[in-house]
Amino acid sequence: MFSFSHQNTPIKFRDLISFSPNDVDIFVPDVRRAIGAEIAILSTCNRTEFYFYGDPNLAWGGVKDFVSGTKQIDASQIPTPRGELGRDAARHLFRVASSMESVALGEDQILVQVKDVHRQILGHTSKSPVLDRLYQFAIRTGKRVRTETSLCEGAVSISSASVTLAKRIFGSFEKLEIALVGAGETCESAAEHFKANHANRFVVVNRGEERGNALAEKYQGTYRPLNELLNSCRTADVMVFATGATEHLLKAKDLKPIMKQRGYRPLFLIDISNPRNIDPEIAKVSGVYLYNIDDLQEVIRDNLTSRQAEIPKAEIIIESMLDEWEAWLRTIRVRPTIANLAQFFETLRKQELASLENKISESEMDLLEQFSKKLTKKMLHNPIQYLRDSVEENSLKPGDVELVSRLFDLQKYDSHE
């Protein structure tokens, strides 16, 4: 695992290496062909992480040029990520899914995003059976932490932190216009929190009319297409940006004359997009208050105390799930042998039945078919169970697999695992 997150990478670099679904579709096949490894990419507003299963000696240097090529940036601009291997890499993903690595400890959105990555894995043409299972374990871990601990109860999300910060400046939202730039879950969550704090004037600015209209109607607001963004800047008091755009939607040179027209009436901008949608230079424009994800951390930290006692409980769950994961991972060692053993017995069974064709009646053949299947299943049970139990318990002897293979001459059978 290679990770760029709010913990080790400044936001300006996280912007550079943020991966859209289209970037993932370009990156995964190219790198898979080059290094022959399974690949998954988790990219959110706080992190971009690369997960690989394959060569244990894979280093960031073997991936960096592909990242720079996909993002069309100079490789020297990319900082060094945090790297983890084996159990530590799986532990990191399980912690991420459990919201223990989030800016807002206990927030729920990250588990949805981990599920999205799992769907991407399943949708790729090249199958990734190990990472498929790893993400299944991560999702199970995230769900267990949420149901078996109180870690996520009362958690402050990025959206709610944005509202808290805005309230410090304006005090009340009753007479303010709230503009939501984007119509996804983040903006909807922000709208819900603003409404709970008595906001009642909403404008939704979105590229897609159908989704934008739906969100606007939900909060009795007004929809505007994205090309009317600057008009919204003229009337809004608070603007929340959370879109999938890869460029700055709002630039300093465009906002300066608008602020003059407004008489420099305060404009509160919250950019929780990845990469950022607002030109950072806008913070220098008179009357503008610009905040990004990193700026919200102080608000979020104030809400941590009540949930910190739940962290040890969550860590116990994570370690337990890691044990299960590693037990499953070890079964990969014996799967080809089990498959070949089953094929060996199935081939013998069919050969013996074929030798009786036209020698017995059809009803007798049916009885033998049923009998031979049951007999084969019983003969396979003990050796297969031994192999599975041994790897799960980590007690498999070095020569066991080879001995089974030699006893039954399994080398001539190809596993379809």
Asked if residue 415 has pLDDT above 60, the reply is no
pLDDT of residue 270: 94
| CATH number among 3.30.460.30, 3.60.15.10, 3.40.630.30, 3.40.50.1820, domain 2-148 | 3.30.460.30
What are the respective helix, strand and coil percentages of the chain, to the nearest 5? 55, 10, 30
pLDDT of residue 118: 96
152 is catalytic: no
CA distances to 76, 100, 194, 385 from 213, in Å:
43, 35, 18, 58
Asked if residue 115 has pLDDT above 80, the reply is yes
**Angle formed at CA 304 by CA 300 and CA 307, multiple of 5 degrees:** 140
* Distance separating alpha carbons of residues 332 and 329, to the nearest angstrom: 6
Contacts of 72 (CB under 8 A, 6+ apart): none
Asked if residue 66 has pLDDT above 90, the reply is yes
- pLDDT > 90 in the chain, percent: 63
Q: Got the DSSP string for 245-286?
A: -SS-SB-HHHHHHHHHHTTT--EEEEE--SS-SB-GGGGGST
Least confident of 24-28, 66-70, 89-93, 294-298: 294-298
Average pLDDT, the chain: 90
398 pLDDT tier (thresholds 50, 70, 90): low
- Provide the CATH topology of domain 158-301: Rossmann fold (3.40.50)
Which ranges of 149-290 would DSSP assign to H, the alpha helix? 158-170, 185-196, 209-218, 229-235, 252-261
122 pLDDT tier (thresholds 50, 70, 90): very high
Residue of 45, 152, 187, 233 marked active site: 45
| Domains 2-148 and 158-301 agree in fold | no
Q: Got the DSSP string for 346-395?
A: HHHHHHHHHTTTTTS-HHHHHHHHHHHHHHHHHHHHHHHHHHHHHHHTT-
Q: Which of 215, 220, 175 is nearest to 198 (CA)?
A: 175
Domain ranges of the chain: 2-148, 158-301, 334-412
417 pLDDT tier (thresholds 50, 70, 90): very low
- The three-class DSSP label of residue 45 is coil
pLDDT of residue 154: 67
pTM, to two decimals: 0.72
Asked if residue 416 has pLDDT above 50, the reply is no
Tell me the range of 45-59, 166-180, 220-234 where mean pLDDT is highest: 220-234
Asked if residue 130 has pLDDT above 90, the reply is yes
pLDDT of residue 5: 95
306 pLDDT tier (thresholds 50, 70, 90): low
